Amino acid sequence: MILRALVFRPILRETLRTALTILGIAVGVAVVVAIALSNQSALRAFRESVDAVAGRANYQIVSDTGLDENLLLALQPLWARGVRFAPVIDVDGVAEGWQTPVRLLGVDLMSDLHFRDYRYAKVNAEGWALFRDDSAIVPETYAREHGLRLGSPLALNVGGVSKTMIVRGILEARGPATAFNGAIVVADIAAAQASFGLAGRLTRIDLIVSADTLAEIRKLLPPNARLERPSRRNERVENMLRAFRVNLFALAGVALLVGMFLVYNTVLISILRRRKDVGVFKTLGASARQIFAAFVIEGLVFGAAGSAIGIALGRGLAFAILKMIGRTVNVLYVTSQPEAIALTPGIVIAGVAVGTILSLASAIQPSMEAAGVRPGVLFGVATGFSRPGRLKPAPTLIALISFLLAFLATRLPPVANVAVGGYVAVLLVIAGFSALAPMIVTATSRLLRGPFRAAFGIVGQLASASIPASLRRTSIATAALSLAIGMMVAVALMVGSFRETVRVWVDQTVGSDLWLRPAKGLSNAQVAVFPNAISADLEKVPFIAAFDRIRGRDVTYGDAIIFVGSGDTNVAMRRGSPPLLAGEMTPDGVLVSESFSVKFNKGVGDVVSLSVASFKITGVYRDYSNDRGVVFMDRRNYTRLYDDDTINTVVIYLRPGVEVQWARRELERRFGPKYHAFTVTNAEVRAEVMKIFDQTFLITYALLAVAIVVAVLGIINTLAALIIERTRELALLRVLGMTVAEVRRMLVLESAVLGITSTLAGLAMGYVLSWILIYVVNKQSFGWTIEFHTPVRLIVTSLAVTFAAALAAGMVPSRLARRIPLAAALKTE
């Protein structure tokens, strides 16, 4: 009976309030679920590809420099002990016809069936057709997508070597044919070695072994090789992506946090409106526990309903987010082409738990307050009006303590590259500002009273005075919108600062005239390469003053994956080395990026031990191209140690007086047909970098826009509830001669007061939060130094949009003012 009267009937009767609250939770849960699904999909796509290619191997022998195939001979005696091994070429290449990445998997087609499943949909079974040097086997999906049949040519470029293969087998979708969304070409290993200049070399050796042979195998390994499980690569990639993923979840969490405010506010308003009913129930004998349970259940109902809808919404939203995340992961981290969204039981449970538990948590405090209502509330003077709230000193103290703890939290070191202290500090700052919300609302309303009176007459004065009169409710709505605005401002400041920092860095770094690249518009720059033979041809070009050959690769460094880059340091030292934070560039030492230096706590004078050799760090430089850390060495050392003389990009300096566009056309004429080369100007490189940057942060803005939407829903909810509560007061104003339009204007102006208060509070909060994001979270998560910069236009636009949204939010509930029945509302009891 209590539940029915206090909770279920009002939920069903007050459709607007119920719908808004559930929608607020649903949106918050949807965003979190969508991020979880997208992250999972991006990782799973990569993991599944790795697993599909690894097949049944339980161990692998790997090396950053590749393996000599003679190692197979050393392993041969272990065959009798049950060790099975398979040589593998597993490298990235480019399908030249479509300029898209493709994986080349070279295996011993005769014996690989122990490790991987191949089922041919179609095959040219004449003699040894599949073993010919130019034979390629492609998945059915890839063949269909690119119109390939048996006998079709397929031009590949692997390691700078171009070769036109012939499709002689088409695989059904199982095993390795499912890897990388089908963008994989299988060839016999000997054919792959012969066709692409990989004679005598292997990427790895896959093993099926028992534990008792591991020690012996380790003894046979060359110095720079490792014996590890295939899943190790997945773990390293997950480590690499951890900071990026945690950041995304944190942003999604903002929307959920705002949703929590919504639930708290709704349950609180519900309780405040039903104080008399609660008093009646208590007078009649209901216990405090029953009252507490009733309102907690209200919170749970909102949470459960919101979570259910949120999960469905989240699945739809995941497709859009996946595109954005997938692009960023591909550009900055690993090749991964996630497409499938799988709503796993784990994510469903997590979504329900997050929405329901947080709603429950939000409902607890107001429910405790309801449980404490005394029956005497029935016998108070029934004026039906809201009285101006009195401020208590405790919130100020809570705020001060929160800010102090936040400052201390920023001093904490990162945990597994995650800026835990930074995130805790963000939460504490939010808590501090929320505690100050009543004070901010009161102060702002007082400040606005004069100007509103002057601008809008008595309507304006009433509007500015009524907000602090319902302080509890309005301060919570204000806190929610301030939070959303604060995060929006903080991220705008962080992204704006970051963008400006990157722009300056690009200007400093990109000092050349032209770049020569082996492919156009590839998301992963390592995939396509030039052969070293291009160097001799470049020497012959009379209008080139100097050129710098850039090459690099991902290597393992303990549990992490870092990037080892190289270039012609003699050219860089003359023409302009990367912007250095410390030390200098030398031919024999290495430079490390700032990210590397921060993450691995290494600086000038320290030694960095790679699997191939150890080097002294002679300088630390700024590098925003990736966050996993870069060790940069002279090209001579790189080619010697990694046995790799290919080139990713050639940075070209023209002789004085040579016109850039003319030089560009000349270079493409000379090198285009032979090396499939494309030129890119300085300006185009800068534009491309900034475009990647903007794309990377697109999702950030999308998530924050969602948080703003949830907060605006909170404003609508609060104002609608206030109107219903103030029916008698509004009826009085109508009776005394205010028109419906004037009452509506007053309500919209109240919304404006909330909007102005939230905007000011959000702006202040945003600046504080941006400091934490820039100097703590970003620094600890990614290792980058960002120079503070205020993107004025972006901030002003964002604030204007959110203020307008808050104002518009007031128009929705103000329509309720039209429907107030004057006589019934003024009826005395």
Stretch that binds another protein, among 81-89, 306-314, 370-378, 728-736 (CB under 8 A): 728-736
In the complex, what is the shortest distance from the CB of residue 739 to another protein, in angstroms, rounded to a whole number? 5
When binding is defined by CB under 8 A, the residue of 266, 466, 556, 626 that contacts another protein is 466
What are 580's two structure tokens? 């250095």
For another protein, the closer of residues 170 and 746 by Cβ is: 746
Stretch that binds another protein, among 542-550, 643-651, 701-709, 819-827 (CB under 8 A): 819-827
For another protein, the closer of residues 3 and 826 by Cβ is: 826
Alpha helices in 510-612 (DSSP H): 533-539, 569-575, 594-600
Q: How far apart, in whole angstroms, are the C-alpha atoms of residue 616 and residue 607?
A: 4
When binding is defined by CB under 8 A, the residue of 80, 284, 736, 792 that contacts another protein is 736
With left for phi above 0 and alpha for psi between -120 and 50, is residue 159 left, alpha or beta?
A: left
Residue in 53, 197, 145 with CA at minimum distance from that of residue 529: 197
User: Which helix or strand (DSSP H or E) is residue 203 part of?
Assistant: strand 201-208
When binding is defined by CB under 8 A, the residue of 280, 361, 391, 469 that contacts another protein is 469
Three-state SS for 763? helix
Q: Tokens 């919304």 label which residue?
A: 751
462 binds another protein (CB under 8 A): yes
Alpha helices in 514-659 (DSSP H): 533-539, 569-575, 594-600, 635-642
For another protein, the closer of residues 163 and 473 by Cβ is: 473
For another protein, the closer of residues 622 and 745 by Cβ is: 745
When binding is defined by CB under 8 A, the residue of 426, 733, 753, 795 that contacts another protein is 733
What are 560's two structure tokens? 């992490």
In the complex, what is the shortest distance from the CB of residue 732 to another protein, in angstroms, rounded to a whole number? 5
Question: In Å, how far from its chain's centre is CA 577?
Answer: 31
For another protein, the closer of residues 21 and 466 by Cβ is: 466
For another protein, the closer of residues 466 and 478 by Cβ is: 466
12 binds another protein (CB under 8 A): no
Stretch that binds another protein, among 7-15, 82-90, 169-177, 386-394 (CB under 8 A): 386-394
Spatial neighbors of 518 by CB under 8 A, at least 6 apart, are 94, 157, 160, 528, 529, 530, 647, 648, 675, 676, 677, 678
For another protein, the closer of residues 223 and 737 by Cβ is: 737
Q: How far apart, in whole angstroms, are the C-alpha atoms of residue 585 and residue 595?
A: 17
Stretch that binds another protein, among 175-183, 294-302, 454-462, 541-549 (CB under 8 A): 454-462
When binding is defined by CB under 8 A, the residue of 147, 345, 383, 539 that contacts another protein is 383
In the complex, what is the shortest distance from the CB of residue 828 to another protein, in angstroms, rounded to a whole number? 5
Stretch that binds another protein, among 205-213, 587-595, 696-704, 816-824 (CB under 8 A): 816-824
For another protein, the closer of residues 340 and 735 by Cβ is: 735
In the complex, what is the shortest distance from the CB of residue 477 to another protein, in angstroms, rounded to a whole number? 18
Tell me the site size for another protein, rule CB under 8 A: 32
Q: How far apart, in whole angstroms, are the C-alpha atoms of residue 703 and residue 35?
A: 10
823 binds another protein (CB under 8 A): yes
* Pattern 387-426, another protein, x by CB under 8 A: xx--------------------------------------
Q: How far apart, in whole angstroms, are the C-alpha atoms of residue 505 and residue 622?
A: 8
In the complex, what is the shortest distance from the CB of residue 468 to another protein, in angstroms, rounded to a whole number? 8
379 binds another protein (CB under 8 A): no
740 binds another protein (CB under 8 A): yes
Q: How far apart, in whole angstroms, are the C-alpha atoms of residue 286 and residue 280?
A: 9
With left for phi above 0 and alpha for psi between -120 and 50, is residue 112 left, alpha or beta?
A: alpha
822 binds another protein (CB under 8 A): yes
Q: How far apart, in whole angstroms, are the C-alpha atoms of residue 484 and residue 701?
A: 12
Spatial neighbors of 582 by CB under 8 A, at least 6 apart, are 603, 604, 619, 620
With left for phi above 0 and alpha for psi between -120 and 50, is residue 655 left, alpha or beta?
A: beta
Positions that interact with another protein (CB under 8 A): 381-388, 457-458, 461-462, 465-466, 469, 729, 732-740, 742, 822-824, 826-828
